[in-house]
Structure 1
Amino acid sequence: MATAGNPWGWFLGYLILGVAGSLVSGSCSQIINGEDCSPHSQPWQAALVMENELFCSGVLVHPQWVLSAAHCFQNSYTIGLGLHSLEADQEPGSQMVEASLSVRHPEYNRPLLANDLMLIKLDESVSESDTIRSISIASQCPTAGNSCLVSGWGLLANGRMPTVLQCVNVSVVSEEVCSKLYDPLYHPSMFCAGGGHDQKDSCNGDSGGPLICNGYLQGLVSFGKAPCGQVGVPGVYTNLCKFTEWIEKTVQAS
């Protein structure tokens, strides 16, 4: 599957104004100053593609359900699972699955990106394996200082698309710091991570991708200030501990 050019050109134009600096969906959405993930070390990672180009990421949370950011909503989806490289036409252990049903959180607010999550139902369940596996959602909310892992195929710091899945470790930022940095956009459905002196961050193309803390899915890449990877400016993630009941009810009802 090829990823020609930068599929995020249209999305980078979506800037949120009225706050100091420009904000861009996708937690600024590239993996900044990360490294190649070990192949298939993130078997829950999902690639949302359109016309063979990545436009968002997601997370397999059930054999028939992928969780992603609500701002990634489309009428239908092709979802790649078990992928490490986006350039391989048929990667061993991978699967491309169609999906036509997606459910955005009922209180999702597009301009402000509050409650930025949706569930996508795959047209058929997938069999879990060494390369494809669901992950459990954290029931506890994140703690400031926790080291967590973000992964994605978004733009690199040099502006190029990576050939393989990228991983980066970021630290959770306190709610007090996060709310001040993103006032008046901050909402309890969000939390911040990154912004350290190592300038590690997520950026364009990683929207909806996973932030893993202590082996559990803690957040989804949502948005951040442009340019990505600024010291003292963390990215914003959907705070999934706030939505476990809604996720469970939606999966059971559909």
Structure 2
Amino acid sequence: MPPTSADHTAFAAQALARVRAHSPLVQCLTNSVVTGFTANVLLALGASPAMVDIPGEAGPFAEVASGVLVNLGTPHAEQRSAMIEAAQAAGSAGTAWVLDPVAVGALPVRTALARELLELRPTVVRGNASEIIALAGAGGGGRGVDSSDGVEEAEETARRLADETGGVVAVSGPVDLVTDGTRTARIANGDALLTRVTGGGCALGAVMAAYAAVDEDRFASTVAAVTAYTVAAELAAKQASGPGSFAVAFLDALAALRESDIVGRAAVS
């Protein structure tokens, strides 16, 4: 039987406790715009961030990290080399790693890099609908980091991409979609203020890496990561008057998030 909404919700609540109990060490090769916010999100959740992103260090660190995020937001030359190094090392060591192909499609350098990284079989690919479609070679990308496609338009492409990589694909949008090619879940939590804070999507990739580090079922762990993240966004939005106060409230909401919050608010189908 496929997992039910109650199954997903129960798993998400338990996964939050496991992340806090194990405090996974998440190596983040991410963009310069969001480094601090990503680290703070991981710390608030109970994980441990490490921004190790230079050649010669990225590979050895990926071998000992609990999980790895590779985010293509600002891929300067040295970081591009470190990303390949880290992804190769993570694959060899069996370390879960997340690929976030930011703004692929129209921009040639990151698009070529994303496809090279895709061949290294990421554990999870996370992006908006246009990024997922472009990564699969089925579209030209969105408007910079903004999607010009809807989540439902990317569903079939996401399933094919998951089949090709043997991993999980997560498509972010008003209703998030997660698939491993066979199983598919939709998470209808969150708040629009999350899209008005720089790093809101990028930090989610790091959270997915933290969750993948503590569970072997990476489909279930990715659903759990998205659920916790978006439930926290809803709770933060209740306290915020705008994007600035939301960013602070979101970190507080992640730190204060309880299993009962997930059970009471999760909208997973």
TM-score (norm. length: structure 2): 0.29
Q: Which has the higher contact order (CA 8 A, sep 6+)?
A: 1
Higher strand share: 1
TM-score (norm. length: structure 1): 0.31
Higher helix share: 2
